[in-house]
Amino acid sequence: MKAIQVKQTGGPEVMQLVDLPVPQPKSNEAVVKIAAAGVNFIDVYNREGRYKQQVPFVLGQEAAGTVSSIGSDVRGIAVGDRVAYTMSLGSYAEYAAVPADRLVKIPTASATAKPQPPSCRE
């Protein structure tokens, strides 16, 4: 899978596009196939080393996608569920292993909802 990895802290130049194996879930995790990842200022702090992370690490702390596999102790989440999460490193990737207690299911209706333009008022 493709991922944006940081092997040493620093400026934007330390972000590297790498090939990594698809993660396997621990007993309390689900692997999420990422459809959309949040890009937030905290990612800059992690990349710069202001917030200490063990290197190497994959950037990003929030995403939405579809569960592709689950660990043996996971309950209430199933393969194929559409989910979102925050506060778990690794969302700048095609897949991320996420503690199941961080996941929230996304209602199916939102899959077909079309974005609406903002209303213009004078």
Which tokens belong to 19?
């090939």
Rg (CA), the chain: 16
Superfamily of 2-109 according to CATH: Medium-chain alcohol dehydrogenases, catalytic domain (3.90.180.10)
Q: Which residues face 19 on adjacent strands?
A: 2
Q: What is the pLDDT of residues 11-25, one digit of tens each?
A: 999 999 999 999 999
Range of weakest confidence among 3-12, 14-23, 93-102, 113-122? 113-122
- Cα–Cα distance between 7 and 84 in angstroms, integer? 26
- Closest Cα to residue 3, out of 26, 33, 30? 33
Name 13's Cβ contacts closer than 8 Å, sequence gap at least 6.
none
Q: What is the pLDDT of residues 37-88, one digit of tens each?
A: 999 999 999 999 999 999 999 999 999 999 999 999 999 999 999 999 999 9
Write down the domain spans for the chain: 2-109
